[in-house]
Structure 1
């Protein structure tokens, strides 16, 4: 048998989000993660993006097991959509990751006995199939129970860092277990897969302890109510804010479904400590403004989030006023900047005190900067290097960082989603591709939206839609319905009807097929509308006999 391993990224390459890997050796496949991504601004109406899994469905019988590195949405968020489409195999993950996954699966009506969930310690060693041995190691991140792993295969060792930063003062007191990376490096690492998110940033990433101290100073000086928003899954940040609030005599109130859900799971599993437990707005009682702190959703400017509703005065139970303090303890995901800025400006208009990064140091990334990336490269000392978890600029800058090391990797590849990376003891190259890309989730529909439909939505959003209905009998006439095209304009509508009717009558005289008559009407109206308005609305021609 040709002794080679195939490493197939199905998501997470050239992007931040949608993380998913497949490893194949012979007749066995092991999968890592299954995350989602959020849509770009042009993907109108789309809720989520999940990885295409055509390759896994075509080779479903070869899948032997699954490994989850941690509980963030970009690593487990797609699983409720993916798992029902693949065979039931063991899914190995740490305690908090499984807790968050169970919560997600229950929301989708997926029962516990429909899946095979197996809890592992963050330093466990497991075997998947005949060819894969996974040796986990803890890495600090913005959520507990975050893991990387050393994958032992017949062709050699692979080190995958998972998401990480090397926080010297982690919130839970559990630092990265770098000894396992160093041990693997001493024994020989064939390939390193490492987090590229902050490959452009020099130095090291700020510690959570520093952010907690900065937030404490702000809250200590606040006279009225304090509202803090961050990612609901940022368990370490939530814990630090809770500790600060309790220290300063403020009762913590949680607002927002995802915030309460994540916090409840973390509380139940012992990853979040609160003296008084979860409190809702209805349970606040007669607390004074200086005695309360709200943890709420809305860090990305989502229209229906708690912070957005507060900013625009649409919250049913709470209204912001002068003297309140709002802390946005997160950075906008690319594409969300405009929404976040709109919320910030609205908060200023209300007259509240607003703190947000980078103007104020109230957020630190959960990903390592250049010095941390170099430390991992030094410890692993890989023969081959595969930068991962980043846009192309992050991957390429990570590759350059690696080539600048005293002992650079022999070869570095910038892979794309769907690339089949062939790995042997002496060979590291892309030998083919598998289907990849994004499946759109829109409401309850999964995969029923194509790029053509996205383009139609975009066109309608720019120039509107014009529906032309030509009634052929007894006397031909044309009716128009438009949305988002122009405000009521009888002259323009009359001229469009005239152009459409002339095309229909000409086609009927020439006894053309109805399909051709419809196309003639479409073409004539499109040319006329473009000429007189300079616009290209979506045209929908309809013939009624």
Structure 2
């Protein structure tokens, strides 16, 4: 090596014994009875909303702050974010915030959460902070108003008096992804973050397993690890294998090519761009999030483009064999670019026989039906469709069982907390850990809000803090309740009947409007009007209050419609005095 001077053997002095440097963990030692509290505010029993609070005495370390996407039974809801009642109650104790990587399920809630909490240091790698700052700008927030601290994915951070965090790089589906060793006064906690052990990542930056091995050799008190693929045997395919598969498809395609993937999957987008340029295709992007993520990644040096990214207008008139469009919509979202292309709702492109469509992603649980609907429609249009697992065009960013075993062996933890998965995935990870030659002494599967009490000799759940989900609907955060969602589901299933009644002794009037209900005939509407007029006349005669008249309309109409139609629509009587 160039940095080692050349010496002859007789020029060398006596060999010095090399000493391994000791980690400079917290200098404050714990008493045997003391403990760390680990409070998951999201990410337990679910995929998404990842967020942790670690507390020792009067100091709290926060990790991540992600969102989740609504399920089909949540009409009108845009996003789901974790409740942070616990952090708001104890905000004066928060000493620092560490971000593991830039995926939405780890940083997507920050524009909603960060303005409510103290401006403590927020540590993250360059790309992670770039994406966070981009999100803040979308919400009209100034990044300069927050205390961001850029660190490498392998840096050591001191948080307050009690926590020292050693970051370590882990391969995933986005650059600058880290796990962490949290040194506490009672012992080491290893938090893997999201990961897979990719031996040939696109950027050539492999996982730094030496740090994990060193922590394991010194003693790991608790392992918190990614459970996403705990049911999946074997090893997750390398991203380089997917790049080869995409190259082969793009190379043989004759017509236009449309590729959809997650907007934040920088490595995958890079593979598509590289293949497109290799085969003489111009690349355009469709979808606000993809354009934003790619712009930030390119500006920060995480994405290379030999030519440039074109607009849709620029490539619209090129020969088919020169066109490649990267778009959002990998989850079958109705308003996303791929769905609009499939169902003829796109303003600038219409798919045609001979086009190639590549879905370079797997459906998130709950989105399978929407994705299948899009795929079937693409076949109806006569396009060539490539999607996993039929074709090797996607690999998970999460470790499968053999990789999980490696982490268990390297850390050899005393206690284990499976995280980042639904209950079935956490349970399978628990069983996997228990099957190892040196299983953890105890494994806990906990829910969001569990107050996990960790001592040097035990781990247990010691109560619960407020936790759960806040619904984001438009500009509203938390003003949509479960009861409102039930009303929306009821209206979607049964329809709504609105009755507007003007209460007047001389000339009462009634108007009835129904939406999503049965096609009401004149006889049905006439019966409803008769019931309403009867309630009004009785109410006027007996001088009833308007709210009583409203009830006298609601219940008879509800009973009549259920008997006449077998349906139970939402009935909204509006009664005003004339």
1:12-56 C-alpha deviation (Å, 9 max, x unpaired): 000000000001111111100000000010100000000101111
1:183 to 211, 214, 225: 214
Which residue number in structure 1 is paired with residue 513 of structure 2?
481
Distance in 1, Cα, partners of 2:327 & 2:463 = 46
Cα contact 2:331–2:364 (8 A) shared by 1: yes
Which of 107, 114, 118 is the aligned partner of 2:138? 107
Give the Å deviation of 1:285: 7.6
- Structure 2 match to 1:292: 323
Could you tell me which of 385, 389, 397 is aligned with 2:416? 385
**Cα deviations by residue, 1:155-177 (Å, 9 ceiling, x for unpaired):** 11000000001111111101111
CA distance in 1, matches of 2:468, 2:431: 26
Within the alignment, does 1:541 sit opposite 2:573 as a pair?
yes
1:484-499 to 2 correspondences below 5 Å: 484-499=516-531
- Alignment match, 1:259: 290
Task: Verify the 8 A CA contact 2:230 2:400 in the aligned structure 1.
Answer: yes
Mapped contact 2:505–2:540 kept (Cα < 8 A): no
The equivalent residue for 1:526 is 558
Once the two structures are TM-superposed, the CA of residue 481 in structure 1 deviates from its matched residue by: 1.9
When the two structures are aligned, how many residues end up with a matched partner? 545
Q: What CA distance in whole angstroms lies between the structure 1 residues aligned with 2:500 and 2:150?
A: 61
Structure 1 regions of 5+ residues with no counterpart?
none
Measure how far apart 1:502 and its partner are: 2.9
Q: 1:75 aligns with which of 89, 106, 109?
A: 106
* Secondary structure, aligned partner of 1:190: strand
Cα deviation code 1:264-295 (max 9, x no counterpart):
11111111011012221223386321122211
Displacement of 1:301 after TM fit? 1.3
Question: Structure 2: 5+ residue runs without aligned partners?
Answer: 1-30
Pick aligned residue for 1:306 from 337, 343, 346: 337
Pairing 1:430–2:458 present: no
SS in 2 for 1:113: helix
Give the Cα separation in 1 of the matches to 2:199 and 2:518: 60
Alignment of 1:155 with 2:201, yes or no, is no
SS at match of 1:127: strand
Structure 2 CA distance, aligned partners of 1:541 and 1:329?
50
Three-state SS of the structure 1 residue aligned to 2:254 is coil
CA distance in 2, matches of 1:70, 1:121: 11
**Change over 3 Å in CA distance of 1:285–1:514 after alignment to 2:** closer
Contact preservation (8 Å) 1:331, 1:363: yes
TM-score, structure 1 normalization: 0.97
Aligned pairs for 1:262-341 (under 5 A) are 262-284=293-315, 287-341=318-372
State how far apart, in whole Å, the 1-side matches of 2:71 and 2:268 are: 26
Shift of 1:82: 0.6
Between 1:93-102 and 1:236-245, the stretch displaced more is: 236-245
Aligned pair 1:229/2:229, yes or no? no
How far 1:424 sits from its partner (Å)?
0.5
Q: Cα distance, 1:370 vs. partner?
A: 0.6
Question: Match of 1:132?
Answer: 163
Q: d(CA) in 2 for partners of 1:430 and 1:173? A: 41
CA distance in 2, matches of 1:490, 1:180: 77
Which residues in structure 2 correspond to 1:21-40 (within 5 Å)?
21-40=52-71
Is the Cα–Cα contact under 8 Å of residues 503 and 524 in structure 1 kept in the other structure?
no
Cα distance in 2 for partners of 1:211, 1:286 equals 30
SS in 2 for 1:130: coil
Tell me if the contact between 1:196 and 1:390 (Cα under 8 Å) persists in the aligned partners: yes
Cα distance between partner residues in 2 of 1:401 and 1:255: 42
Tell me, what secondary structure is at the counterpart of 2:309? coil
Say whether the 8 Å CA contact 2:361–2:394 is kept in structure 1: yes
Moved more, 40-49 or 491-500: 491-500
